[in-house]
Chain A
């Protein structure tokens, strides 16, 4: 068990082994997302009230899902990196930040575009949207911090601490924003997600969520591999890799 753990901690081993199943992950990701997009756009029945704009849900929900999960992935990787001084975990942490920020952006953007035909406005200060915006700011803070250190090692440690502090805060932030929203009661607009989703609508959503999970894993791997190469550029194995190509 511990040997395995140490092996996993070795960036070189990870680079080689991840290279083997990367193509499979890419195929799964493309197939699932392509299926989900075609199914959701063309074959899922339209919503009785919202019409076709409802089809945006197939991007919006998976993206929002992974945007939040991504923050926890990042914080968990940061914690592992801090506790066990595992270099690889640091690299995963650094790789997760821009990915999470981009997914948060997608969730916010699709939400805004969906809002226009549905509630007649691009932006409302709804609890969920506002929490998402704060999440985006948390991600931006981490990315900004990671860019301002001169060494990659220090940068990862600093971001790990910030991510952990953020993780402790996220439940408080979400609760407070929820409470703030009930306080101000805009009431005219009700954001009910999907109380009774028809199975025909739900199946493509499931495919999309699976596809987004694959996508997240794929890009996280790709970013981590880039980070590995950047950090290990002075080692022999990376030099051999560069020559071999």
Chain B
């Protein structure tokens, strides 16, 4: 059962609103960052690797072109 009379009361939390919402907000933000940071690092690493591979391939091609 919903414990509050209306939405404003829900936000106010009987005067404890800033504490409750602050604690939840920051904690959930930290957790979201924890989950997203490794994903971002993985993607950056894979992109890095791919550009490296492309560059070595291009270099190899160029060398082949020069030798001919």
List residues of A whose CB falls within 8 A of some B CB: 33, 37, 41-46, 51-53, 55-56, 59-60, 63, 98-99, 102, 105-106, 109-110, 113-114, 116-117, 215, 218-219, 222-223, 225-226, 229-230, 233, 238-239, 241-243, 245
Contact = CB atoms under 8 A, between A and B. Distances in A.
Contact of A225 (B28, B35, B42): B42
- Most chain A Cβ neighbours within 10 Å, of B2, B3, B45, B53: B3
A11 to B, nearest CB: 14
Contacts of A222: 35, 38-39, 42
A233 B52 CA distance: 11
Interface of B: 1-4, 10, 13-17, 19-20, 22-24, 26-28, 30-31, 34-35, 38-39, 41-42, 45-47, 49-50, 53
Given A42-B3, A113-B19, A215-B31, A239 B49 contact: yes
- Provide the main secondary structure of the chain B interface: helix
Nearest to A59: B27
Contacts of A98: 34
A98 B41 CA distance: 14
B19 A56 contact: yes
B4 A42 contact: yes
Nearest to B21: A41
Contact of B50 (A41, A44, A63, A243): A243
Contact of B1 (A37, A43, A53): A43
A38 B19 CA distance: 16
B27 A110 contact: yes
A37 to B, nearest CB: 7
Contact of B46 (A44, A46, A56, A245): A245
